Amino acid sequence: MNLPPRKDAVRQFWVAIRAGASAEDAVAGLGNNRKTGPRYSRKAGSLWFRQAGGVVPAYVTAQSSGRFLSFTEREEIHAGVERGDSIRLIAQGLGRAPSTVFHELRRNMRQRYRRRHRQGRPVTAPWSYRPSYAQRRAEFMARRPKPAKLAGHLELRRLVQTKLKENLSPRQISVELHQLFPDDPEMWVSHETIYQSIYVQTRGALRRELAIHLRTGRALRKPRRRAEQRRGRIPNMVNISQRPAEVEDRAIPGHWEGDLMMGKNGKSAIGTLVERSTRFVMLLHLPNGHRPALVEQAVIDATQKLPDFIWKSLTWDQGQEMRNHLQIKVATGLQVYFCDPASPAHGNAAPTRTPTVFSGSTSPKAPTLANTAPNTSTSWPRK
């Protein structure tokens, strides 16, 4: 029987892919055989990736029900066989029924298993039970591939193919089918089913050539990064939830909130610092751009204009301009906290956009903020 690779090895491969590893590195992480070297060639990873169309198999994230024997349990059975334990003793150690162990051995051994007795003729021939082979054989026999909906529904498949050639996205197709056939669920299909029918060719539904009509034009799904591995993520951020409680009631001065305001077409920028207790405002002059190094220097310069005790913390959004927050902390002792992504305005920074401060970017006569005087300060307008 030509068996596929062990499912646990493929699962480990896909877990590495989801963690951001390349196909070659993911295969290399599967370990080596003591005699033959690497367990799988580097080409195997690319082959698995192409066969799956870049789509992570469902069993990678599915939780085991415990109904069937695992590879670890099969290794325990093998150890019991080598010790000469009885089937009942092996089953007792696994917490399984003796019949489960009996059928497992009968399916995967060339000879009948019997316990080595002290009396009588000893068993000298090695047993032929191999846990790895038994695991792969069980996975192969347990496969129940569900036919894809588009593979078995000719009319629906033709309709989806036609709309793909019209350059509609899978999501648009899914919504349009619900509108065209509101009372016929058989003519509905999700956008994910369309994607997988293109990417995973073993489903036998849609031709991979239709991928050129997708927005990306890719015939393979590109793995997404995990949330903590987003491109351009600021390193070593401290979340706003870790701010001291004294910041919330505004009773103690010294806790600031900052923001970056962009001029017309993003060609100029100015930073704002607002003290939460007194509402005192300072402007950060950024005539040469808002790169992290420039914002870092502007914040450091601003802290030198007031006593040290007034600088306790600074809260900012997750803009890349604050990427050098650790350098700011080392130079000034100012602890920088970051807001959650896509959260509303975090406090006073947004209200500082009054006509007085923000006129540089809103007035038609002053289309940029480049002419703003450096280190400008203003008091908070009180009602």
**One-character DSSP codes across 123-176:** P-SPP---HHHHHHHHHHHT--PPPPHHHH-HHHHHHHHHHHHTT--HHHHHHH
In this structure, what are the phi and psi dihedrals at residue 340, rounded to the nearest 5 degrees? -70, 150
Characterise 167 by phi-psi region: left (phi > 0), alpha (psi -120 to 50), beta (else). Answer: left
Q: Which carries the bigger pLDDT value, residue 365 or residue 186?
A: 186
pLDDT for the residue 60: 64
- Give the span between the Cα atoms of 309 and 316, in whole angstroms: 20
Query: Band of the pLDDT at 264, cuts 50, 70, 90?
Result: confident
pLDDT at 46 over 50: yes
pLDDT for the residue 224: 59
pLDDT for the residue 283: 92
Percent of the chain with pLDDT over 70: 67
pLDDT at 53 over 80: no
**Mean per-residue pLDDT of the chain:** 75
pLDDT for the residue 7: 67
- Give the span between the Cα atoms of 204 and 202, in whole angstroms: 5
Please answer whether residues 195 and 170 qualify as being in contact, where contact means their C-beta atoms are separated by less than 8 angstroms.
yes
pLDDT at 344 over 80: no
340-357 mean pLDDT: 49
Q: Which two tokens stand for residue 363?
A: 């007035």
- Give the span between the Cα atoms of 8 and 307, in whole angstroms: 61
Q: Which two tokens stand for residue 64?
A: 């085991």
Could you tell me the pTM of the whole model? 0.39
pLDDT for the residue 227: 44
33-62 mean pLDDT: 63
Residue with tokens 């051994």: 109
254-263 mean pLDDT: 91
Q: Which two tokens stand for residue 346?
A: 């975090």
Residue-wise pLDDT tens digits, 58-114: 666 666 667 888 888 999 999 888 888 888 999 998 999 999 999 998 888 877 776
Cα–Cα–Cα angle for 308, 312, 315, rounded to 5 degrees: 130
Closest by CA to 7, choosing from 70, 79, 96, is 70
Q: Which carries the bigger pLDDT value, residue 65 or residue 178?
A: 178
pLDDT for the residue 313: 92
Please answer whether residues 79 and 89 qualify as being in contact, where contact means their C-beta atoms are separated by less than 8 angstroms.
no
Residue-wise pLDDT tens digits, 275-326: 998 999 999 999 988 989 999 999 999 999 988 889 999 999 888 899 899 9
Q: Which carries the bigger pLDDT value, residue 377 or residue 134?
A: 134
Q: Which carries the bigger pLDDT value, residue 286 or residue 153?
A: 286
